[in-house]
């Protein structure tokens, strides 16, 4: 069973995702980011515009197969064809199919988007109903 952590109260989910990915990459983790298709190019753009010292090597689904396979950070709309199964960062509304294959799952929850918060509560209940132990990280209390 994967370790499942909810990171609550992110003031800006995409900015937080970028920082999380930078940190994961520095620690040698491989991450699959699952997000709605419309969000993928926005995240891709934000990753490209980070400071040079914070560059996050990544690939977006549909790119060249070799790049997809070798990229430590992969951006996709689902877990289908995931190049690795270390960490799954979910930016979507529901629980990604196939999440069980990953060692860790990280759910990012907005501080201000009430719809996002409500959907996260439902994911929390669904994970619990599946027998998963959940870890809670309150980003406001941590100062992140």
The number of folded domains in the chain is 1
Which residues, 6 or more positions from 3, have their beta carbon under 8 angstroms from its beta carbon? 103, 104, 105, 133, 135
Domain of residue 84 covers 3-142
Q: Read off the pLDDT band of 142 (50, 70, 90).
A: low
Whole-prediction pTM: 0.95
54, burial (CB in 10 Å: exposed 0-12, middle 13-18, buried 19+): middle
Residue 114: predicted pLDDT: 97
> pLDDT of 20-49, one tens digit each?
999 999 999 999 999 999 999 999 999 999
Q: Read off the pLDDT band of 144 (50, 70, 90).
A: low
Residue 56: predicted pLDDT: 93
CATH number of the structural domain spanning residue 79: 3.40.50.10110
Single out the residue of 116, 138, 80, 96 nearest to residue 2, CA to CA.
96
Instruction: Work out the average pLDDT over 51-73.
Output: 94
Q: pLDDT: is 141 or 101 the higher one?
A: 101
Has residue 50 got a pLDDT over 60? yes
> pLDDT of 111-140, one tens digit each?
999 999 999 999 999 999 999 999 999 998
């Amino acid at each position: 069973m994967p370790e499942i952590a909810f990171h609550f109260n992110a003031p800006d989910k995409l900015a937080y995702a970028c920082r999380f990915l930078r940190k994961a990459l520095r620690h040698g983790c491989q991450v699959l980011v699952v997000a709605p298709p419309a969000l993928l190019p926005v995240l891709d753009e934000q990753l490209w515009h980070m400071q040079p010292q914070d560059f996050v090597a990544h690939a977006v689904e549909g790119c060249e197969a070799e790049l997809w396979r070798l990229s430590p950070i992969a951006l996709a709309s689902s877990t289908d064809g995931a190049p690795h199964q270390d960490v799954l960062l979910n930016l979507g509304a529901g629980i990604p199919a196939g999440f069980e294959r990953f060692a860790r799952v990280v759910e990012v929850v907005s501080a201000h988007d009430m719809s996002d918060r409500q959907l996260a509560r439902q994911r929390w209940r669904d994970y619990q109903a599946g027998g998963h132990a959940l870890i809670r990280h309150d980003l406001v209390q941590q100062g992140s």
